[in-house]
């Protein structure tokens, strides 16, 4: 078995990978993002990015975490009903800027970390959903 094939079993996920839209997707179910990150670190995957989607109405947010493993792009979607998810910054240094950016743009809290302005300036108010502000 290749490294990618062993990942679902290591994570305790029964569902297989689904290849769609250029990504190998795996539904993490109830798995925490921190447990996922620990496994990605263990298999030497390279963190690529997080993409945040605001869902319509009060459906919350979808957060897609991407890693690269030997040229294959892996994707893990997390659904957030609350505006909060655990930070993985202490496990994965590369996530710093994108967590800060998503916090600035969507007001999503990455629990367990401190923020400094990234795209905004010092003194600007952090933790405002800028998209909703623009719509207003």
Site for another protein contains 35 (CB under 8 A): no
Measuring CA to CA, how many Å separate 131 from each of 67, 105, 134? 26, 7, 5
Taking CB under 8 A as the criterion, the residue among 34, 38, 60, 96 binding another protein is 96
Binding to another protein in span 60-79, by CB under 8 A: 64, 66, 68, 70-73, 75
Among 79, 78, 130, 82, residue whose Cα is nearest residue 106 = 130
Among the listed ranges 2-10, 11-19, 31-39, 127-135, the one in contact with another protein (CB under 8 A) is 127-135
Nearer to another protein, 34 or 72 (CB): 72
Q: Which stretch binds another protein (CB under 8 A): 3-11, 32-40, 86-94, 107-115?
A: 86-94
Task: Report how far residue 54's alpha carbon sits from residue 100's, in angstroms, rounded to the nearest whole number.
Answer: 16
Task: Determine the Cα–Cα distance for residues 106 and 72; give it in Å rounded to an integer.
Answer: 28
Residues that bind another protein (CB under 8 A): 20-23, 44, 46-49, 51-53, 64, 66, 68, 70-73, 75, 92-94, 96-98, 117-121, 130-131, 134
């Amino acid at each position: 078995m290749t490294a990618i094939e062993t990942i679902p079993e290591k994570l305790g996920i029964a569902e297989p990978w689904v290849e769609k839209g250029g990504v190998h997707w795996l539904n993490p179910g109830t798995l925490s993002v921190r447990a996922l990150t620990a496994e990605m670190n263990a298999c030497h995957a390279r963190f690529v990015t997080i993409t945040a989607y605001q869902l319509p109405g009060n459906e919350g947010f979808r957060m897609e975490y991407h890693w690269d493993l030997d040229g294959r792009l892996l994707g893990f979607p997390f659904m957030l009903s609350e505006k909060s998810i655990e930070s993985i910054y202490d496990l994965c240094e590369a996530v710093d800027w994108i967590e800060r950016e998503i916090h600035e743009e969507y007001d999503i809290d990455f629990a367990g970390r401190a923020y400094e302005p990234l795209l905004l300036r010092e003194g600007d108010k952090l933790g405002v959903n800028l998209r909703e502000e623009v719509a207003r």
